[in-house]
């Protein structure tokens, strides 16, 4: 049992650590120390020397804090709508009517002073006290949890301070990822049972909730919860391009703070605060299916709220995209837990198609459903890869206000920010995406369109608004058809000619020109035509609608006859064999299974071998 008497506290902890087996307590029978989130099967146990972001817990009352960036300054660096916190929990609170004595030692030459915060931001009317070197005597009138802050707009990361609480304080429950044992935690919860709040802290987050609320979750190992939230934050940092490749692209200095509030449901606000109310919201933290084995609780809402701390304000006007953009980060997190998850599919895609099919004048992007708006970002990642989104974030941080005018953060004119999104998306992809964004209802002004046009980028070959994960082949998209024998070789119209009868052959794709691109069109409900980009009136066809093995495949004027209609037979991810309607027992075939330039493309009896399999690669 941990005693409340401060002088005996460290001795009791030491005795517990020395006899860990006898002190051990389980977190509860129903979880069996619940299964760790995927990818976190081993939580690295931190030593007492480990920093939790910027704070090192030397003991229960002694802390060393590295100087870090003040949260507004860090948010300005990141160009995010909201910022991470810049203060850390101590696991202590003042004793009423008793002077609080705090000893401070500076390490380094900085003149910046640490600050003691009494009270949790947003929950309490905080009291702040600047701490000087030496012994500080303070008389707080607020008896609430205490936090430490050591920040500057221009921090010297080599500077730190040690803050030791000498007297006038008591402990409140504080669990530290990888440090606090089950026995220590059980004793804290028993000894400090009258504490208003319980705090759990990880490397990138801390969680504060009322003791009465936490009593519902004592069966779940806090290590599992904290490690899972750290993972969420890491995933969202990753898709944000925060790869620590430079000072500008380093991860935020502070933490995400998940706290309990009195009303509402779930939201996010300044100082890194994600605020939750009620069992349904808190279950997403402690009982989600990626945390507790057998649970059906989905965690998307938590991912979304943390996403608010990552969304870029210069390119996401709140009235239009404010509640859609956070889902970029939620979706990327979901893909970690469910690698086969595809957003641009099913009902999501059907709803998007209904929206996109409206006349441009009728589209109201602001009024569109937020999950429909997410489709726009997901299509861009399907077209240009996940690195597109990472590089988009990087480019905005690097260039906004330089290559594109910095939008007015307080204006209600959304054209500036939507224009910035279209501008930087175009620049990141290397394609002029004006038409894509106009189809999504951006209604960009002529001045914004002119800025994009001045980039002198080509239009994408394929209309990006058609991209989805449902269609085996997307009608209206351009593809190269790469031989599975060697995916650096593609079906090519010989010599780039457009005359009827020009043969199709295998050639390398070192230069992917129009002779190697095919426009997919639906011939009917089950069959496709492949139109040459050289001349879309010409299509891939079996010579004279032949059926014999070795019949040449060539281009011919479109008539939608059986020689020109092909069934796509799935042979794996983006891989197909193609059956001509004129010869149902045959397949499109690379003669002899050769990979040499100039190899004949023909039809041949079905063999289910690589010479009859082609990887469809969509081109933009």
CATH number at 66 reads 2.60.120.1250
- Boundary-marking domain end, from 229, 263, 280: 280
CATH of the domain at 483: 2.80.10.50
> What's the Cα-to-Cα distance from 448 to each of 158, 191, 386, 423, rounded to whole Å?
44, 63, 26, 8
Kindly state whether residues 196 and 113 are assigned to the same domain.
yes
- Residues 163-191: pLDDT tens digits? 999 999 999 999 999 999 999 999 999 99
Q: Tell me whether residue 298 is in a domain.
A: no
Q: Tell me whether residue 73 is in a domain.
A: yes
Quote the Cα angle for 251-254-259, to 5°. 125
Kindly state whether residues 79 and 12 are assigned to the same domain.
yes
Domain that residue 518 falls in: 471-619
Kindly state whether residues 319 and 270 are assigned to the same domain.
no
Other CB atoms within 10 A of residue 174 CB? 25
- Boundary-marking domain end, from 429, 459, 489: 459
Residue from 177, 241, 227, 197 nearest 393 by CA: 241
| pLDDT score of 199 more than 80 | yes
CATH of the domain at 432: 1.10.390.30
What residue spans of 454-557 are helical by DSSP H? none
What pLDDT shows up at residue 44?
41
Kindly state whether residues 42 and 177 are assigned to the same domain.
yes
- Residues 564-573: pLDDT tens digits? 999 999 999 8
Kindly state whether residues 194 and 326 are assigned to the same domain.
no
What residue spans of 440-584 are helical by DSSP H? 446-453
Using only C-alpha atoms, what is the Rg of the chain?
Answer: 30
At a CB cut-off of 8 Å and minimum separation 6, what does 461 contact?
Answer: 478, 517, 533, 619, 620
Going by DSSP bridges, is the β-strand pair 504-508/489-493 parallel, antiparallel, or unpaired?
antiparallel
- Boundary-marking domain end, from 432, 459, 486: 459
- Residues 543-559: pLDDT tens digits? 999 999 999 999 999 99
Cβ atoms of 606 and 585 within 8 Å: the answer is yes
What pLDDT shows up at residue 172?
98
Beta-bridge partners for 474: none
Kindly state whether residues 590 and 449 are assigned to the same domain.
no
Kindly state whether residues 362 and 486 are assigned to the same domain.
no
Q: Tell me whether residue 295 is in a domain.
A: no
- Residue 399 tokens read as 């260039």
Kindly state whether residues 386 and 486 are assigned to the same domain.
no
Q: Tell me whether residue 455 is in a domain.
A: yes
Q: Tell me whether residue 345 is in a domain.
A: yes
The total number of structural domains that make up the chain: 3
| pLDDT score of 64 more than 80 | yes
Q: Tell me whether residue 113 is in a domain.
A: yes
Kindly state whether residues 154 and 221 are assigned to the same domain.
yes
| pLDDT score of 325 more than 60 | yes
Looking at every residue in the chain, the average pLDDT score rounds to: 91
Q: pLDDT confidence of 123, banded at 50, 70, 90?
A: very high
Kindly state whether residues 428 and 323 are assigned to the same domain.
yes
Q: Tell me whether residue 339 is in a domain.
A: yes
Kindly state whether residues 543 and 411 are assigned to the same domain.
no
Kindly state whether residues 274 and 320 are assigned to the same domain.
no
- Alpha-carbon distance of 358 to 363, in angstroms, equals 6
Q: Tell me whether residue 290 is in a domain.
A: no
What pLDDT shows up at residue 49?
52
Other CB atoms within 10 A of residue 98 CB? 14
Q: pLDDT confidence of 272, banded at 50, 70, 90?
A: very high
């Amino acid at each position: 049992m941990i005693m409340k008497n401060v002088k005996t506290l460290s001795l009791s902890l030491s005795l517990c650590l020395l006899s860990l087996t006898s002190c051990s307590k389980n977190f509860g029978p129903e979880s069996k120390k619940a299964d760790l989130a995927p990818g976190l099967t081993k939580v690295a146990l931190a030593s007492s020397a480990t920093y939790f972001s910027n704070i090192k817990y030397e003991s229960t009352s002694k802390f060393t804090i590295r100087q870090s960036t003040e949260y507004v300054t860090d948010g300005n660096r990141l160009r995010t709508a909201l910022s991470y916190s810049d203060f850390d929990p101590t696991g202590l609170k003042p004793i009423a009517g008793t002077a609080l004595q705090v000893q401070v030692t500076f390490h380094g030459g900085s003149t910046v002073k640490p600050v003691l915060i009494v009270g949790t931001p947003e929950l309490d009317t905080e009291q702040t006290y600047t701490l000087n070197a030496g012994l500080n005597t303070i008389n707080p009138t607020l008896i609430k949890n205490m936090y430490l802050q050591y920040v500057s707009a221009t921090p010297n990361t080599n500077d730190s301070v040690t803050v030791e609480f000498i007297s006038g304080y008591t402990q409140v429950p504080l669990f530290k990822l990888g440090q606090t044992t089950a026995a220590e935690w059980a004793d804290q919860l028993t000894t400090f049972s009258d504490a208003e709040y319980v705090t759990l802290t990880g490397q990138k987050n801390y969680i504060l909730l009322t003791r009465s609320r936490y009593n519902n979750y004592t069966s779940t190992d806090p290590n599992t919860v904290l490690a899972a939230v750290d993972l969420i934050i890491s995933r969202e940092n990753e898709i944000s391009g925060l790869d620590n490749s430079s000072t500008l692209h380093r991860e935020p200095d502070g933490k995400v703070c998940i706290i309990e509030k009195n009303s509402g449901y779930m939201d996010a606000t300044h100082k890194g605060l994600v605020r939750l109310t009620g069992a349904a919201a808190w279950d997403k933290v402690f009982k989600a299916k990626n945390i507790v084995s057998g649970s059906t609780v989905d965690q998307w809402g938590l991912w979304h709220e943390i996403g608010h701390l990552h969304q870029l304000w210069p390119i996401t006007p709140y009235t239009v995209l404010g509640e859609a953009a956070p889902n970029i980060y939620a979706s990327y997190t979901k893909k970690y837990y469910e690698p086969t998850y595809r957003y641009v599919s099913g009902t999501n895609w059907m709803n998007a198609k209904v929206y996109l099919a409206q006349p441009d004048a009728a589209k109201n992007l602001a009024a569109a459903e937020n999950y429909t708006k997410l489709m726009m970002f997901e299509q861009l990642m399907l077209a240009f890869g996940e690195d597109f989104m990472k590089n988009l974030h990087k480019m905005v941080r690097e260039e906004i206000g330089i290559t594109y005018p910095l939008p007015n953060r307080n204006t209600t004119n959304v054209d500036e920010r939507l224009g910035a999104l279209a501008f930087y998306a175009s620049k990141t992809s290397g394609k002029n995406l004006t038409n894509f964004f106009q189809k999504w209802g951006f209604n960009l002004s002529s001045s914004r369109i002119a800025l994009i046009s001045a980039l002198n980028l080509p239009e994408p070959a394929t209309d990006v608004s058609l991209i989805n994960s449902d269609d085996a082949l997307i009608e209206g998209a351009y593809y190269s058809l790469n031989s599975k024998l060697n995916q650096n070789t593609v079906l090519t119209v010989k010599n780039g000619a457009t005359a009827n009868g020009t043969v199709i052959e295998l050639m390398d794709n070192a230069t992917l020109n129009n002779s190697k691109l095919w426009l997919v069109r639906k011939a009917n409900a089950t069959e496709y035509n492949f139109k040459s980009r050289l001349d879309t009136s010409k299509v891939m066809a079996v010579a004279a609608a032949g059926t014999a093995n070795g019949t040449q495949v060539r281009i011919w004027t479109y008539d939608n006859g059986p020689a020109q209609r092909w069934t796509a037979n799935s042979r794996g991810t983006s891989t197909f064999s193609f059956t001509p309607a004129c010869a149902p027992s045959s397949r499109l075939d690379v003669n002899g299974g050769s990979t040499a330039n100039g190899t004949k493309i023909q039809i041949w009896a079905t063999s289910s071998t690589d010479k009859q399999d082609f990887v469809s690669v969509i081109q933009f």
